[in-house]
């Protein structure tokens, strides 16, 4: 009998498949359908700091009166957005039997600590922080923040949230950090229980038909999982210890679990990411394109793979082909590119 349960960031999930944060997970009917499809957990759509700030900015620009009442307005817009979000958590918790992970998309410490506490009180089983910095400037004379400053800001958000909630804090990052492993180690030291590799952002494109700027494909393609696979294979070898460690003061430094996101469209890809060391695998484009019940196919494929290969538990093969467990780890590094390129 194959056991598909996994432990992820301190949560017990019935399968390693997680519905990634998106508009799909803002809809209660879709959330309920997902919970009946074999999904291990659901990350709700993010509450966006930027969106709230934009709304405040827009209302302030509409009237001088608003400017005088800026504090009130600020509070009202935030409280309204957060209130709606808390209702979604409560409804999802009352209708689903899988862990519900709240998501906050933010770039400053701000009020997130109190909101994170409210989310915990509303029943969220964990919080995923989708942290992004906005160093992109179109002004070449702009003096950008250093990578150290950017990482410190992210760590301070994680630290303040993790210190103020009892539920696990998970961090979702982009692949655009100077020293990914070092950054992840800092996130772990600041209280992150898991890291999601990687978020996928909006990219502009040009349409030759309309001769206009358009949005690039909103959904990922099947080959986009490769970047996550490489970094999960390396990070799972370097940042996961086999057992939790005590620092002598009663503080337990737990493992940093990894979750794979981007380009997971079928069971085969999901299993490759588990072999590379992901504890869980997140689905987004696949849900939009194939519907919530595609998760049943993922679970079916996993069970068949496990029984064909003789694995009883997911943990039996998770990380089996990571950087530490293969004979040619340089295959995950750039040096392999030179060797491969020579053959062509």
CB of 89 vs ligand FMN, minimal distance in Å: 14
CB of 285 vs ligand FMN, minimal distance in Å: 3
Taking the least distance from each CB to ligand FMN, the nearer of 56 and 273 is 273
CB of 139 vs ligand FMN, minimal distance in Å: 28
The closest residue (CB) to ligand FMN is 220
Taking the least distance from each CB to ligand FMN, the nearer of 73 and 220 is 220
Buried b (16+ CB within 10 A) or exposed e, 20-46: bbbebbeeeebbbbbbebbbbbbbbbb
Taking the least distance from each CB to ligand FMN, the nearer of 171 and 234 is 171
The rounded distance, in Å, linking the Cα atoms of 78 and 67 is 16
Taking the least distance from each CB to ligand FMN, the nearer of 225 and 237 is 225
CB contact set of 179 (below 8 Å; sequence gap of 6+): 147
Give the interface with ligand FMN as residue ranges (CB under 6 A). 20-23, 45-46, 103, 105, 130, 172, 199-200, 218-220, 261-264, 283-286
Which run of H or of E encompasses 211? none
* Torsional sign, CA 326, 328, 334, 340: negative
Task: Tell me whether the omega of the peptide bond preceding residue 217 falls within 30 degrees of 0, making it cis.
Answer: no
CB of 243 vs ligand FMN, minimal distance in Å: 30
CB of 344 vs ligand FMN, minimal distance in Å: 28
Runs of H (alpha helix) within the chain: 28-35, 49-62, 64-68, 70-95, 112-121, 147-164, 180-189, 226-239, 267-276, 285-290, 294-309, 335-342
Taking the least distance from each CB to ligand FMN, the nearer of 50 and 148 is 50
């Amino acid at each position: 009998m194959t056991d598909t349960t996994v432990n992820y960031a301190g949560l017990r999930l019935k399968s390693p498949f997680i519905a990634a944060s998106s508009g799909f997970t803002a809809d209660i009917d879709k959330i309920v359908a997902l919970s009946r499809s074999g999904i291990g957990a659901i990350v709700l759509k993010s509450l966006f700091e930027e969106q709230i700030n934009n709304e405040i900015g827009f209302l302030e620009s509409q009237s001088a009166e608003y400017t005088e009442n800026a504090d009130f307005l600020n509070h009202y817009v935030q409280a309204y957005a957060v209130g709606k979000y808390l209702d979604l958590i409560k409804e999802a918790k009352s209708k689903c039997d899988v862990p519900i992970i709240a998501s906050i998309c933010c770039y400053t410490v701000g009020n997130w600590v109190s909101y994170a506490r409210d989310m915990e009180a509303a029943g969220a089983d964990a919080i995923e922080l989708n942290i992004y910095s906005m160093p992109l400037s179109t002004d070449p004379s702009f003096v950008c923040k250093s990578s150290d400053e950017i990482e410190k800001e992210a760590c301070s958000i994680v630290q303040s949230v993790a210190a103020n909630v009892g539920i696990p804090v998970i961090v979702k990052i982009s692949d655009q950090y100077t020293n990914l492993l070092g950054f992840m180690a800092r996130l772990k030291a600041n209280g992150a229980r898991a890291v999601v590799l990687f978020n996928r952002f909006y990219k502009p494109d040009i349409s030759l038909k309309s001769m206009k700027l358009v949005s690039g494909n909103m959904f990922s393609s099947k080959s986009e999982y490769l970047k996550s696979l490489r970094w999960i294979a390396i990070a799972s070898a370097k940042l996961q210890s086999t057992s939790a460690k005590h620092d002598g003061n009663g503080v337990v430094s737990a493992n940093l679990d990894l979750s794979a996101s981007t380009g997971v469209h079928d069971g085969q890809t999901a299993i490759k990411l588990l072999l590379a060391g992901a504890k869980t695998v997140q689905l987004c484009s696949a849900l939009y394109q194939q519907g919530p019940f595609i998760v049943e196919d993922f679970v079916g494929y996993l069970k068949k793979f496990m029984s064909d290969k003789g694995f009883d538990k997911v943990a039996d093969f998770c990380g089996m082909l990571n950087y530490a467990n293969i004979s040619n780890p340089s295959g995950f590094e750039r040096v392999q590119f030179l060797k491969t390129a020579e053959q062509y």
